[in-house]
Structure 1
Amino acid sequence: MGDSEPGRGADGQPPLGERTWPRSSLLGGLAGAARERLLTLGTCVRYDADRVLIREGDPTDFVLLLLDGVVKATGRTHDGRSALLAVRLGGDLVGEFAAMDGQPRSATVTTCGPIVARSVTNGAFLDCMRRDPGIAHAVNASVVTKLRAANNHRIDFTGCDAPTRLARVLYQIAITHGEPLGAGAVIRWPITQPELATLSGAAEPTVHKALRRLRKTGVVSTGYRTIRVEDLALLSGIAFGPPP
């Protein structure tokens, strides 16, 4: 962990033009003045790839406001496996559950590449929410959005076979976290087949077979630390059926 210039990207260089975040993220959804107030909290820090920032069960006392980069949240299953729970990008808040309920960390958060963030103590974060109702409302809304997404994930998988669940997982990741490219999108952070298996609720050999079929038919291609969806419409048809 180290200091970094506010507003610089994960590569350490100033961004081209004014930095923006997705509207669905906490920073992207806040009005300019409220966003600036939130960005004054804490210290700007940088982390390299594959760095554990938060460990499940630990009683640490800070939140991370992601400015740039990608992290993944994982949890341990009863049989000791690591289950991918969520992916968070620049503009998102990480670690707020433990700050708000005072309990140990509910997940492990690991960087998927270089990131820049603001590290804010729980005390400063909670004090900001008490003093600024607009920020408090935005944080609460982002928590509700995360819970709704978890519920929708469970509902979407009811009654589906494993290849369909995998297609739905890849489609959702691509449209939510992917970089648009032609008719498809590129997921530029590493997601392992065991993580795809836990997200899909399927055995690893089943996911391996389904992923191989998607590659063979030209729906997806894979590279070093990336997955490319060649045609989002085609993947959507596999995941949800053809449009009416």
Structure 2
Amino acid sequence: MERRNNPKWNQALQGLSHEEAEAVHSLMRARSYSPPRAVIFSQGEPSDTLVVVRNGRVRLFITSPEGEEFTLSMLNGGSILGLAAAVLQRPRILSAEAAGQVDVSILSATDFSACLERFPRFSHNITRLLALLAVENIERSAPLVLDSASQRLGRILVALATRTPNGKQAVHDLTHDDLGKMIGASRTWVSLTLADFERRGLVTRQPGCIAILDPEGLMR
């Protein structure tokens, strides 16, 4: 696994010797998800693996008892999936699916627990990483509680944007339905609001791409 592309996983391995890090990596297996919307894991399943995203984007969502889906986040390469559930040894509370081609490295929950016991520094790093992820989740979600729906959409677009080769920021391969599920709005409302953003010079739209022209304006 290439470490430079996995910032969160790098934090988990920080301070480990080369031999210790390689011992952890030797227990991991590579897997790719290529079909659109391929399921990585499902809500309610046993938390028997820890998943490190190497490349691609993953949608995390929760399904209500009535079958309605609510998208919580879109994660890029470098993210760790199922960390809290693996530590607590509880069933998965979310589902994860690939948004396009996704490459991951998988560590079984049994091997993960063994590494925590074998390498004290690794255990320390995981504790700090869990705290960091909790803080990031609060910082990401807290402003959305007080924002209007259009402000929530703007914040989500800025948070999901990645830098393109020409140095601009853009959101790729997200449908209006995906965005609507992230803020609790209809697909039609998202379409109308994006059109308004474009009229105001905040974004430009092309098939499969929303280019961010004014990040600060989107969050106001």
TM-score interval, smaller chain: 0.7 to 0.9
Identical positions, percent: 19
Q: Is 2:211 aligned against 1:228?
A: yes
- Which of 44, 48, 73 does residue 34 from structure 2 map onto? 48
Aligned ranges 1:18-57 → 2 under 5 Å: 20-21=4-5, 23=7, 25-27=8-10, 30-31=13-14, 33=18, 35-49=21-35, 50-57=37-44
Local SS of the residue matching 1:186: strand
8 A contact 2:39–2:96 mirrored in 1: yes
Is the 2:12–2:122 Cα contact (8 Å) retained in structure 1? no
Higher relative contact order, structure no. (Cα contacts within 8 Å, ≥ 6 residues apart): 2
Indicate the SS of the match to 1:195: helix
TM-score, normalised to structure 2, is 0.83
Q: Quick one: distance in 1 between partners of 2:21 and 2:80?
A: 12
Task: Give the Å deviation of 1:197.
Answer: 2.1
TM-superposed deviation, 1:78: 5.0
- Give the SS at the match of 1:87: strand
- Alpha-carbon distance, 1:122 to partner: 0.6
| In structure 1, C-alpha distance between the alignment counterparts of 2:109 and 2:45, rounded to whole Å | 14
Task: Answer 1 or 2: which has greater helix percent.
Answer: 2
Q: Which residue of 2 aligns with 1:119?
A: 106
Query: Could you tell me which residue of structure 2 aligns to residue 130 of structure 1?
Result: 117
1:94 Cα deviation (Å)? Answer: 1.2
Distance across 2 between alignment mates of 1:154 and 1:222:
26
Distance in 2 between the 1:154 and 1:64 partners?
23
1:149 Cα deviation from its structure 2 partner: 2.6
Q: Post-superposition shift, 1:146?
A: 2.6
TM-score by length of 1: 0.76
Per-residue deviation, 1:123: 0.2
Distance between the aligned counterparts of 1:39 and 1:163, measured in 2? 43
Change (3 A) 1:21 1:47: same
1:122-161 Cα distance to aligned partner (Å, 9 max, x none)? 1001111221222223323332233223322332023322
Which of 151, 155, 169 aligns to 1:164? It is: 151
The count of corresponding residues between Structure 1 and Structure 2 is 216
| Aligned CA distance change for structure 1 residues 56 and 183 (closer, same or farther; 3 Å) | same
* CA-CA distance at 1:207 after TM superposition: 2.2
CA 1:89–1:132: 2 relative to 1, 3 Å: farther
| RMSD of aligned alpha carbons | 2.5
- Aligned equivalent of 2:51: 64
> For the structure 1 residues 92 and 39, does the alpha-carbon distance in structure 2 shift closer, same or farther, using more than 3 Å as the test?
farther
Q: 1:236 to 1:201 in 2, by over 3 A?
A: farther
Gaps of 5+ in 2: none
The alignment partner of 2:5 has SS state of coil
User: Is the Cα–Cα contact under 8 Å of residues 73 and 182 in structure 2 kept in the other structure?
Assistant: no
